[in-house]
Structure 1
Amino acid sequence: MPLYKGDPRSVGGYKLVDRLGAGGMGMVYRGRSRSGREVAVKIVHAEYAQDPVFRARFRQEIEAARRVSGAFTAAVVDADPEAELPWMATQYVPGQSLAARIRDQGPLRVPELRPLALGLVEALRDIHRAGVVHRDLKPANVLMAEDGPRVIDFGISRAAESHHTLTETGQVIGTPTFMSPEQFTDARTAGPASDIFSLGALLVYCITGRGPFDADSPYLTGYRVVHNQPALDGVTGSVRAVLERCLAKEPGDRPGPDELAREFARVLPEPSPGEPETMRLRLPSARPGPPPPAGDPAATRHPRWRGTRVLMAAAGVLAVALTGCLLLVPSRGDGATGATGATQARTTAPSRWAPLPPGWKPWQTTASAIAEKGVRKAPGYEGNREPACVPDDGALYCAGSALLPERIDATTGRTLWRSGIAPPGIPADRYVTALLGVHEGVVLVELTVTGADGKGEAQSVLALDGTSGTRLWSHPVRTDSLGSVYAAGVTLTQEGDGTAVTVRSAREGTVRRRIPVPAGYDCLLLAAENRPYVECMTQEEGSHSTKFLVVDPAGGTARTLASPAQSRSFVGVQDGRLVFVEADDRPVANSPDLIYTRIVRVDPDTGRRTPAPLPERYRGGVPTLAHGTLYFATSSGLVTAVSPATGARLWQSHTTLETPGQASVDQKGRTVYLAGGSGRVAALDTATGTLLWESSARAEVLDTGLLPTVWFNKGALVLATSDGTLFTLDPAHPDRKPVPG
């Protein structure tokens, strides 16, 4: 990945030339010494550099990596743990990670395992002989070099003879799918045998595309690691017997590296004559996927969601846990299984992908590059940086926290204008802008100015000229409102004393009607199928009452319906009926997911309700109704497609996304996309759930609390990451290198 505007250009005499990725403690760059030698440079995040525990952990990583030397580890070249931003340079290993290898090409064949398994056993032998326990052996920490695997990242390793740990009480460090039972029960007892257990889990994952203890949450995965026998479906013969010994619950029952090397040499076949061992794990082109299914489902469009603010806050809490204090990172197998059980494959069928816009290029820009000329973020601002955008006729209109509305050419990434609507004298970290929609060349925006305590001081809805960004009209709204909405040429706002919803013309800003709302109710404004709605709720002790208003945008009149009386989400319209999904009031512990229990369809003319209890208790964040299918996605990346009429499961597929946002379906209704906060995108076939591809990450995951969404510019994808990166993808070639915008 190219360097970002705020990235350092050199450290310790090494010129930084590229981003390689992000870890829990810092960024990793590709660097070059004055002599031209290439190295991988890891720099601790500024906020962690001030934390004595994190600084000590980094010293520990350097010490552990320096003690290890072998053909299958990456040697330390240089380091400065006492620098203002501590850093370490190691041997640069060209090649993708094992995780990316499995993601791109699917599980390995048994003959392909020999060079990998024996190389990793040799690496562990060298690590253990140096008196070090790695404690985080997983596919992402194995690089596939031309001459064999390399084990990297000793960030949570420790000396084998030491029972001291830097982990604070209640923290669990590692990746659950590949952790040993003792890491969950008492991390201080995790010795060399713990790495053998992780190696066994890693090799099962390489063969089957999933871990032997995988579950829908990292917490259930941990329970299975400690208490359940491994799931080894797909692993047969003598290899299975060896891996069963590696995965023994008791450390003393697992083989040591020398014994394990002899066992693998015995049970794993030699490469075919004339085919070097290392060639098997190089970087060949992706295997072609199955042909796309025929037929396009009927089209519906997914709406704006009730409950989004609560779910966004919950997602933010989980993001903190996954990237900071908890350090318990959920990891799933990179292979996916859908209704057909097919493994992940990238399709090259040209009929699946819509044509790209003329002149399109894979551009990338950032929020910090967007915010210029007096509207740059306030110094030290580290809040939400993810822009939210609305595509319209080849343009992308974007806004966000500490960002002012902009128009961007969606084909080239060039900024066409940025609006100067910031109140005079207000620092950038105290305003938030949100794009409501675009109507006949008019851009509708909500602007909120917050106080030093984070509470709203002023809020207004504005209309901007889409060509120039100049203000056309503006009106104040209540600072305690739950947001404004645009649909069908009108805006709905809550103004004045809050006793009515104001319906205004989007073009002129004139009032068409004021709709009274029930006294004692809090009202949320919604839009679906280009139609506005108002959902009003009261939550008195012992009772829960809801009224749902269907608004006529032409005349501004409204019809009140009695909607379901339980906790639920309005997800859209299908076959002329409003669709609600009810959820259990009790959220899933330690997860932003909810448990959904029933679908209710409501006739908007008569108010008649048709409930359909779900045959399964589906988990997920905010559900999506698109092209006649209801999609649930869990925080661990499990995607389930459901019939909105019956609730029956159509398919279920695993992705490796962490806390994905809402699903987006292309115009053909053939492909569903989900994105994570790092900018990784998963593409699945809407008919079968087959995972077509997953793109690489574009940024580190920050605690923004936003749910990322994929937008469309004709045949191209557009999305934003949690650190403010905005970029586009060609879905037929998702890993094409971007051109900086």
Structure 2
Amino acid sequence: MGRGTGEWPVIPGYRIESLLGSGGMGRVYLGRSSSGRRVAVKVIREEIAHQPDFRERFRREITSARRVSGAFTAPVVDADPDAEPPWMATLYIPGPSLDARVRREGPLAGKDLHQLAAGLAEALLDLHRAGIVHRDLKPGNVLLAEDGPRVIDFGVVRPGADSAALTRTGVAIGTPPYMSPEQVRAQRYTGPESDIFSYGSVLAFAATGRAPFEAADVYAVAYRLVHEHPDLAGVPEWLRPVLHQCLQKDPALRPSSADLLALLGVEVPEPAPPPAAPEQVVRSNGPRTPPPPPRTGRGRVRGRRSRRMLAAAGAVTVTAVLAAAGAFALLDDDGKDGGSKDKGAVGSAPVDGGRKLGDAYQPVNGGSPGGSAGYADSRGRKPSGWEPWEGGRDLTGCAYAGGSLYCAANDAVLQLAATTGAERWSRPLTGPVQPPAVSGGMVVVSDGEGLRGLSTSGGAERWSFSLPTPAKSFTVSAGIAYASTQTGSVYAIDAKTGHKLWAEQLNGGNTSFATGPRVRALGETGYLIGSTSGQDTEDAVRVVNRHGKTSAEHKLPEGGCAPDTAAVSLLQGSPVLDCLSYKDDQPALLHYAFAARSHTLTPLDADPRSGLAVQGGRAYVVAGQHLLVVDGEDKQVVGRVKLSDKAVADRMAIVAAGGRVYFGTHQGLYAVDPAEGKVVWNSETGSGPEQQTPPATPLVAGGVLFAAAPKGGWVSVDTRS
């Protein structure tokens, strides 16, 4: 198969007429057969097609789609998994998606809503009878044809028997507002019950115009999915009992797809007339208006392609993001502060009208000598009762949970009140002490003797684990503390009990590390990044599960990663690595996709002076006199913000949070809005002495910045006031 006129591919037997859409796996075109029948042709991206075992997986997808081609799905017309690149044609279904229909014309009601509910129930029955679990049922994957709804996009459909294989590395597939709790937790088994939960969320959206677990960001959505009841206000009375059953947290309590039709009944209810304006009730938890459209065309940073404009538009893995030690630990008990009395912080600040969220900020999963990181932030996370403060001792870094900062000094760990900076407790340790993490009510810290678990409430030592040498790399994710030593040993410790899960001397396989690797983690999956040659360049990655079993080994391209600059994150649900790379002494951003085993190199026009902060598919780095915004997947620098001389220093640690980038030097603190293309806040003093040791990585909560002060000690300021 070759290229046709312009950008259209040539598909034997079909004339391509237009592009319908694109995604991470490929593009979908509108085509027409020789008989005039219109088809939707899915063409796989070349780099994906060359992935090992991909064609076999694509054959299974085609087989699955053919097995479920009933009245409420799009039947497969033709396919060629062996073509270059592979393709599949399904019957073209004219009609808008449910998402587009609701956003354009408002919620469905009466017969239209009942037809949708029954049609989707039949589609799921067809899927589940064939042994198929969709795993990404959402409004965008439902087309509204004249004769009823159609379920499309089987790109993440797998036979039910393969469920465990999908999640054994801690990676779940789905779209946040419509995922099930078991998907959020990345449980090993995700069965048909997960589709039933998504079905309930999709119908709630159709009936009200909003998802039942809607929240300000993906982290809050995930928390609500796991811990809170659905918001079904506005759902018709005849449908509400059905959705209550579908949205049970326990999969065993949900109805089967066969039960749904009986629950819905055959009687078509009429829509109730809308109440008059004076009788409308204002809900106590605030308005539920649709989110504003994404900003585009502002400043120097252009809007991203439509497939990445909204976080909910693509399938992403939530558990790995939340449990990674560079984000919020929403799904554990981390935000409870171990019984601390002062709750005047993020944990008690109302978000979306009073819901309480967990709040562990632990920026230790980013890639830089200073621990640069990226995580979500919103104005609602500003500590309640907070006032500006400064002072105290010099700190090397902090974690933030339950209204407290848990910080490392050279020879101690201490707890500070986030609202006032007051020291609550301090525990002496053997240096060097690395910035701690908070997990399961424990402050996990690495010092000169090994790892320790301290009580959040008073700093009492609950467990200790000795290491032969101080940890070279240390991180905590999903209740697992990972540590590696210079000699090449890697340890995984239960962060709550201190029990060893596994330990290994990494001297076998293709990624035989000459020295101890750096450790990054997403959920229960560890990424060991190191050098196989003994040189400074880190050129290999070994992926391990909770039990230490190697699931994959990756050799990075020539140039590899500069030492300790690798950041592992998720892009459209797939793990990716971004790092600084030097090939022939030319600086670049290396972007590596683990699933596709493909990479891009984006040249940088100046030497980097900071580590990387990665958020939302973009990498931020200070190079020369500019903060650069790099789209590694698209291989381009998409933004450039000029910085003053005082705002730039070597070995800077930067944090991307809530659409801004924060960092500090010994002469000031700074907040940059990349969309505006400028520094929007600074505390430049010019009086701080330049030192060899770079400032510690800052923390951000609702725009409140916690950072090392230029004159010493720490400071807390509101950058958005």
Q: TM-score range by the shorter chain?
A: 0.3 to 0.5
The answer to which structure, 1 or 2, has the higher relative contact order (CA under 8 A, 6+ apart) is 1
* Normalised TM-score (structure 2): 0.44
